[in-house]
């Protein structure tokens, strides 16, 4: 089997996962609440026409299996109805600047955490048993155990309240008129610093521990002993023989960790009032805005599935042993 | 003149359960140009011995005593920097399991090039040319230089590793179970390759195996190891025609000889002892059919028999072990 | 040897193993530290009414947000409740939810794992697909959705956490089940005509029990964090004060912009310490179970 077939197979897997997600969503939002009409449509703010249109859109007067088929069709177009709170189509609320804001927070945080984790984990494993090793292991355990929103609160307490060098909340200064793009960028980055720092810190510990344990595993392998016997320099052994093997699983892990990162991002965005999907899910929950909740959850699940497929393919491409 | 001399070597592993006395007073000489085999059951300390010669022991290993003399220098005393000049350049090694000993994510050619460029001061292009020659020398298709380890069969992987071991023209080659896990025909081919290489390159070889039958045809001298100690030592002919140690005798009896297929196979009862608390007296006594009271108490010394070999058994001159 | 002496020997062997485990565990400084912190919190949770100076319903409405003093060790919240007392009462909630959710998680995981591993075939493929699916779903959003639909109660929270967290355990138990299933004594049992239930209870379960124990411990840390997270998002059970809920109120009532650190620091520190104690115990267990690290 070639790489192309492997990609094809993963895409099929992705399609299956997509349908599982749709089914789960259907179960959660149509079957579980008992009376989805009350759940989704009977908002006093909606006009009678809107209600009628929604009833038709969801097919709530039809038998369950037909509703399911309609649900699948609607899922393809992210047609989840109208937000209770914003009185706007859920799709428009999701595919907006909020999504970009979330990506602007999550992608750099994940990359930074991975790079930092890999570097520190490598040094820790290389100097196994040293002060550096035990300290960094302990610090990662601490960060792993600390709630992300609390770290966020501490960051704000220190940098915003006491030092006054970072803003309290939000993704831009409200009501400000920017003179040029750079001013906007500066303001945006200034607001991004706190959440980015927080999210990076909580993600980084996990990568560190895993990189360290991967490397220790690799170091006990015969090919490292053989590399030593060959007299290769410590540098060559570490980079060309050690890390090259230990870093591969990290690729897959980044995909798997997306789910974890998203959980962290939701809490970080909430505490920093970052104008993104995480903050939106918080608002949706507190307003019991079920259509919005449904749409966000579907999008987040899709993001994770896609990230996993991509990292799987990258892994297969990088690892010569994969026979697909 | 012997090229390598190991003297009273004792190597223990410090573990949470106690000290593993993996090598406990081993001595032998490797003559120039000979193939010297160390034979013993798995876990008796063979790999530890060869790793000590290469000085690639894990941190938990402690060298308690002994010397390893190579070219007039004690390898156990020189600094790591000096050892680096000897390791692989003058003494190279084939690992027990080539699959695990080759980096899985690097093509085999570049792994050999790594070794060459580390020790020989030659440009990379020339190193690749040399790898190609080595491939031909060990009977591999040079077009597969850039293949990955998992793309080779077991026997070919051993050949790759042998090519790697020979890449810096060493004087001594240590082959740690180079044929374990391969089928009989491939085993024979690999051993014949080693024998041919010895002649062609003037190598001295330490051949380590748990399979006495396999190495019989290619070895000059044999040491039989049991539970961290050498129990019998001699040239191949003497050992096979007149074993003195019951363990050697049972080993020989346990493989079928061509022509006498009907003879009942003898197996050695029991399993190798723990090396944390090895049996007192003769370490073989719990499994030895000839053991007497003395064997339980007193450790038999390694004695010289008519300059024909060494044996460590209280009853060496009383037993008549006929093959 | 008669049956009785075999049994005695077995018990002795088991005793030896437990002793050796305890000895190695004791030497592990993470394990020891974790155990000490945990004991402290268990003590707080069990004796909360005796230790706490006030109860969560004692409100001193005239003294909201008062700073730490001899009357209120850690100050008061927006309703004038003693933060120190809330903290102690919150221990019970965190511990209960953590332990029960972890137990339920492991029960579901074990059930799925054994079922999939033992029966194999199509059952296994379907269950594994399901496991993988739940494994990659974003956990917190799923918990949020479920909690929002089910409504805020401590039992719902326990259920929600378990229903989202079981896949990891299921995978581990499944692979262990697979290897036990292929062992010779199970094959022999089968050849002798033993039924599935017999084999599962007699051979498979005893072999996965150590794993089950380990995973109950390992999952508690995650469950405590999950409960705190849900509570922080306002999805907690209002009738049981918890540390996450304290942070929720602190955030809602502007403790941050007012710099009321005594409302922000203690609950987070408590969550962190309790979770850390379980993490350290888990880390120690891993070091003991994993022979690579155990060497030396
Ligand atoms: N790194 C180690 N730590 C502890 N014990 C070890 C280690 N390596 C080997 N041993 C033990 O030392 C003994 C000898 O091992 P080894 O030299 O590999 O034997 P052989 O190569 O003859 O099979 C065995 O009992 C083995 O369990
Ligand atoms: S010394 Fe005794 S126990 Fe050991 S091999 Fe000789 S006869 Fe057997
Ligand atoms: Mg060996």
Residue ranges and CATH numbers for the domains of chain C are: 91-295 (1.10.3720.10)
**Residues above pLDDT 70, as percent of chain B:** 97
| Chain C CB contacts of B60 below 8 Å | 295-296
Say what the pLDDT of residue A292 is.
92
Q: Distances in Å between the alpha carbon of A94 and those of A31, A51, A53, A81? A: 24, 21, 21, 12
Measured in angstroms, how far is the CA atom of residue B246 from the centroid of ligand 2? 7
Can you tell me whether residue B296 is helix, strand or coil?
A: helix
Let me know: does B266 contact B247? Beta carbons within 8 Å: no
Nearest CA to ligand 1 atom 11: B22
**Whole-angstrom Cα distance, residue A214 to residue A209?**
9
Q: State how far Cα A73 lies from the chain centre.
A: 26
**What are the tens digits of pLDDT across the range B25-52?**
999 999 999 999 999 998 999 999 999 9
The percentage of residues in chain A with a pLDDT greater than 90, rounded to a whole number, is 41
Cα–ligand 3 centroid distance for B46 (angstroms): 6
- Residues A57-66, mean pLDDT to the nearest whole number: 82
Which of the listed CATH numbers 3.40.50.720, 1.10.3720.10, 1.10.10.10, 1.10.8.640 matches domain A97-318? 1.10.3720.10
pLDDT band at C292, cuts 50/70/90?
Answer: very low
The whole-number pLDDT of residue A324 equals 47
Mean pLDDT of chain C: 86
Residue A42 above 80 pLDDT?
A: no
pLDDT higher than 90, residue B77: yes
pLDDT at residue A173 in the model: 81
Instruction: Give the residue with greater pLDDT, A192 vs A63.
Output: A192
The reply to whether residue C141 touches residue A262, judged by beta carbons under 8 angstroms, is yes
Instruction: Look at residue B86 and tell me whether its pLDDT is greater than 50.
Output: yes
CB contact under 8 A, A320 and B148: yes
Report the alpha-carbon distance of residue B253 to residue B238 in Å, rounded. 15
Q: How confident is the model at residue C36 (pLDDT cuts 50, 70, 90)?
A: very high
Split at pLDDT 50, 70, 90, the class of A170 is confident
Nearest to A137 by CA among C29, C268, C228, C24: C29
Instruction: Give the model's confidence band at B310: pLDDT under 50 very low, under 70 low, under 90 confident, else very high.
Output: very high
Q: What confidence tens digit (pLDDT) does each residue in C108-120 have? A: 999 999 999 888 8
Region(s) of chain A under CATH 1.10.3720.10: 97-318
Residue contacts between A and C (CB atoms, under 8 Å): 140
Q: Are C141 and C230 contacting, i.e. CB atoms less than 8 angstroms apart?
A: no
Q: Is the CB of B131 under 6 A from ligand 2?
A: no
**CA-based nearest residue to C105, from C223, C270, C192:** C223
Query: In sequence order, what are the residues at sequence separation of 6 or more whose Cβ sits closer than 8 angstroms to the Cβ of residue B165?
Result: B88, B92, B93, B94, B173, B175
Q: Give the pLDDT of residue B87.
A: 93
Rounded average pLDDT over B59-65: 92
B57 CB-side CA count, 13 A: 22
Instruction: Determine the pLDDT at residue C39.
Output: 94
Mean pLDDT, range C27-38, rounded to an integer: 88
Q: How far is CA A137 from CA A213, B160, B191, C280, in A?
A: 11, 39, 48, 11
The ipTM estimated for the assembled molecules is: 0.90
Pocket-testing residue among B272, B291, B303, ligand 2, by greatest number of atoms within 8 A of Cβ:
B291
Taking the CA of residue A58 and the nearest CA in chain C, the distance in Å comes to 19
pLDDT at residue number B288: 92
pLDDT bucket at A155, cuts 50 / 70 / 90: very high
pLDDT value at position B261? Answer: 52
DSSP helix/strand/coil, B107: coil
CB contact under 8 A, C225 and A145: yes
**A118-141: per-residue pLDDT in tens?**
999 999 999 888 999 999 989 998
Q: Which of A314-323, B102-111, C2-11, C255-264 has the highest mean pLDDT?
A: B102-111
CB of B288 within 6 A of ligand 2: the answer is yes
Quickly state the pLDDT bin for C296 (edges 50, 70, 90).
very low
**Which residues are found with C-beta within 5 Å of the ion, ligand 3?**
B 47, 96
In DSSP terms, B221 is beta-bridged to: B36, B235
**pLDDT score recorded for residue C269:** 95
Tell me: pLDDT of B259 over 70.
no
Q: How far is CA C51 from the centre of its chain?
A: 24
With a 6 Å cutoff on the Cβ, whether B281 touches ligand 2 is: no
> Are the beta carbons of C292 and A267 separated by less than 8 Å?
no
- Which pLDDT score is estimated for C295? 38
pLDDT at B256: 63
| Cα distance between residue C125 and residue C122, in whole Å | 5
CB A16 to CB C275 under 8 A? Answer: no
Over chain A, what is the mean pLDDT? Answer: 88
Cross-chain Cβ contact B101/A233 below 8 Å: no
Closest by Cβ to C24, choosing from B14, B16, B60: B16
User: What domains sit in chain B, N to C, each tagged with a CATH number?
Assistant: 2-103+169-219 (3.40.50.300)
Cα of B23 to ligand 1 centre, how many Å?
9
Q: Which of B20, B46, B56 is the best mutation target for the ligand 1 pocket, counting ligand atoms within 8 Å of the beta carbon and taking the most?
A: B20
Report pLDDT for C257: 84
Residue in C264, C295, C269 with CA at minimum distance from that of residue C67: C264
Mean pLDDT of the region C279-283: 88
Average pLDDT, integer, range B198-217 = 90
All residues of chain C having their beta carbon less than 8 Å from the beta carbon of residue A304 are 136-138
In the predicted structure, residue B257 carries a pLDDT above the cut 70: no
pLDDT over threshold 60, residue C60: yes
Q: Measure CB to CB from residue A161 to each of C228, C256, C275 and give the nearest one.
A: C256
- Is-contact A48 C164, C-beta < 8 A? no
CA distance to A31, A76, B31, C282, per residue, from A65 (Å): 11, 17, 85, 46
Beta carbons within 8 Å of C16's beta carbon, 6+ residues apart: none
Q: Is the pLDDT of residue C220 over 90?
A: yes
CB atoms within 10 A of CB C56: 18
Alpha carbons B231 and B247: distance in angstroms, whole number: 8
B23 or A287: which carries more pLDDT confidence? B23
Asked if pLDDT for residue A247 goes beyond 50, the answer is yes
pLDDT tens digit string along C134-157?
Answer: 988 999 999 999 998 898 899 999
* B312 CA to centre of ligand 2 in angstroms: 8
Token reading at A110: 């994940």
What Cα–Cα distance (Å) separates residue A173 from each residue in A169, B94, C133? 9, 67, 40
Please answer whether residues C65 and C76 qualify as being in contact, where contact means their C-beta atoms are separated by less than 8 angstroms.
yes
Distance CA C248, CA B246 (A): 79
Among C247, C218, C227, smallest CA distance to C155 is for C227
């Amino acid at each position: 089997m070639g790489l192309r077939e492997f990609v094809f197979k993963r895409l099929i897997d992705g399609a299956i996962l997509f349908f599982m997600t749709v089914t789960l969503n259907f179960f959660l939002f149509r079957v579980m609440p008992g009376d989805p009409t009350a759940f989704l449509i009977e908002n006093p703010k909606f006009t009678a026409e809107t209600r009628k249109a929604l009833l038709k859109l969801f097919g709530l007067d039809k038998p369950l299996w037909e509703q399911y088929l309609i649900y699948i069709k609607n899922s393809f177009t992210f047609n989840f109805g109208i937000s209770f709170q914003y009185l706007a189509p859920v799709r428009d609320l999701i595919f907006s600047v909020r999504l970009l804001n979330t990506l602007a927070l999550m992608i750099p945080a994940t990359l930074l955490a991975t790079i930092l984790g890999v570097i520190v984990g490598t040094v820790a494993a290389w100097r196994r048993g040293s002060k550096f090793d035990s300290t960094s292991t302990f610090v990662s355990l601490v960060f792993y155990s600390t709630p992300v929103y609390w770290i966020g609160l501490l960051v704000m307490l220190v940098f915003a309240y006491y030092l006054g060098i970072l803003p309290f909340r939000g993704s831009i200064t409200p009501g400000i008129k920017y003179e040029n793009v750079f001013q906007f960028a500066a303001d945006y980055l200034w607001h991004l610093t706190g959440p980015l720092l927080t999210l990076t810190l909580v993600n980084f510990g996990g990568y560190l521990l895993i990189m360290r344990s991967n490397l220790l595993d690799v170091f006990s392998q015969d090919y490292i002993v053989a590399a030593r016997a060959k007299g290769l320099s410590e540098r060559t052994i570490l980079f060309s023989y050690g890390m090259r093997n230990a870093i591969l699983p990290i690729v897959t892990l980044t995909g798997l960790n997306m789910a974890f990162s998203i959980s962290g991002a939701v809490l970080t965005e909430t505490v920093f009032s970052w104008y993104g999907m995480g903050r939106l899910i918080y608002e949706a929950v507190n307003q019991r805005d079920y259509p919005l909740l449904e749409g966000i959850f579907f999008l987040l699940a899709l993001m994770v599935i896609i990230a996993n497929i991509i990292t799987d393919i990258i892994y297969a491409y990088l690892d010569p042993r994969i026979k697909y | 003149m012997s090229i390598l001399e190991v003297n009273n070597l004792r190597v223990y592993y410090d573990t949470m359960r106690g000290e593993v006395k993996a090598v406990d007073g081993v001595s032998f000489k490797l003559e120039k140009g000979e193939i010297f085999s160390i034979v013993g059951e798995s876990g008796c300390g063979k790999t530890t011995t060869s790793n000590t010669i290469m000085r690639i022991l894990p941190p938990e290993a402690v060298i308690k005593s002994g010397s390893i003399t190579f070219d007039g220098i004690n390898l156990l005393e020189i600094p790591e920097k000096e050892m680096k000049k000897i390791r692989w350049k003058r003494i190279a090694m084939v690992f027990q399991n080539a699959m695990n000993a080759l980096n899985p994510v690097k093509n085999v050619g570049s792994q050999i090039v790594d070794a060459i460029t580390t020790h020989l001061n030659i440009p990379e292009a020339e190193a690749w040319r040399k790898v190609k020659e080595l491939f031909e020398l060990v009977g591999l298709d040079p077009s597969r230089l850039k293949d990955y380890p998992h793309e080779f069969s077991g026997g070919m992987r051993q050949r790759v590793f042998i090519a790697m071991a020979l890449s810096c023209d060493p004087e001594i080659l240590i082959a740690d179970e180079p044929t374990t896990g391969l089928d009989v025909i491939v085993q024979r081919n690999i051993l014949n390759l080693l024998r041919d290489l010895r002649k062609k390159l003037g190598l001295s070889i330490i051949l380590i195996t748990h399979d006495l039958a396999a190495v019989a045809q290619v070895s000059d001298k044999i040491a039989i190891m049991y539970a961290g100690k050498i129990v019998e030592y001699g040239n191949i002919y003497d050992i096979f025609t007149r074993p003195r140690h019951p363990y050697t005798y049972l080993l020989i009896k346990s493989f079928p000889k061509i022509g006498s297929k009907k003879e009942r196979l003898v197996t050695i009862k029991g399993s190798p002892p723990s090396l944390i608390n090895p049996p007192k007296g003769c370490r073989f006594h719990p499994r030895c059919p000839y053991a007497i009271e003395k064997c339980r108490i007193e450790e038999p010394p390694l004695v010289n028999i008519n300059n024909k070999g060494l044996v460590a058994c209280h009853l060496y001159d009383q037993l008549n072990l006929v093959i | 040897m008669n049956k009785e002496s075999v049994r005695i020997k077995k018990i002795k062997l088991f005793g030896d193993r437990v002793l050796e485990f305890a000895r190695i565990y004791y030497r592990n400084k993470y394990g020891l530290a974790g155990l000490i912190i945990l004991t402290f919190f268990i003590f707080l949770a069990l004796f909360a009414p005796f230790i706490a100076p006030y109860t969560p319903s004692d409100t001193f409405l005239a003294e909201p947000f008062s700073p730490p003093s001899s009357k209120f060790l850690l100050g008061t919240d927006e309703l004038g409740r003693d933060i120190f007392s809330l903290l102690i009462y919150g221990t019970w909630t965190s511990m209960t939810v953590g332990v029960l959710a972890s137990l339920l998680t492991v029960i579901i995981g074990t059930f799925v794992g054994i079922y999939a591993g033992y029966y194999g075939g199509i059952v296994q493929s379907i269950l594994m697909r399901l496991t993988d699916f739940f494994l990659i779903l974003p956990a917190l959003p799923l918990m949020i959705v479920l909690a929002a639909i089910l409504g805020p109660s401590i039992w719902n929270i326990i259920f929600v956490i378990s229903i989202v967290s079981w896949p990891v355990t299921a995978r581990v138990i499944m692979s262990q089940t697979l290897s036990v299933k292929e062992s010779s004594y199970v094959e022999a049992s089968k050849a002798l005509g033993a039924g599935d239930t017999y084999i599962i209870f007699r051979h498979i379960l005893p072999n996965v029990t150590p794993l089950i124990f380990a995973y109950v411990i390992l999952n508690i840390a995650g469950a405590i964090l999950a409960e705190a997270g849900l509570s922080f998002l306002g999805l907690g059970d209002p009738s049981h004060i918890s540390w996450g809920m304290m942070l929720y109120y602190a955030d809602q009532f502007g403790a941050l912009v007012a710099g009321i650190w005594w409302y922000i620091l203690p609950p987070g520190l408590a969550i962190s310490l309790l979770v850390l104690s379980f993490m350290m115990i888990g880390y120690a267990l891993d070091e003991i179970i994993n022979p690579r690290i155990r060497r030396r």
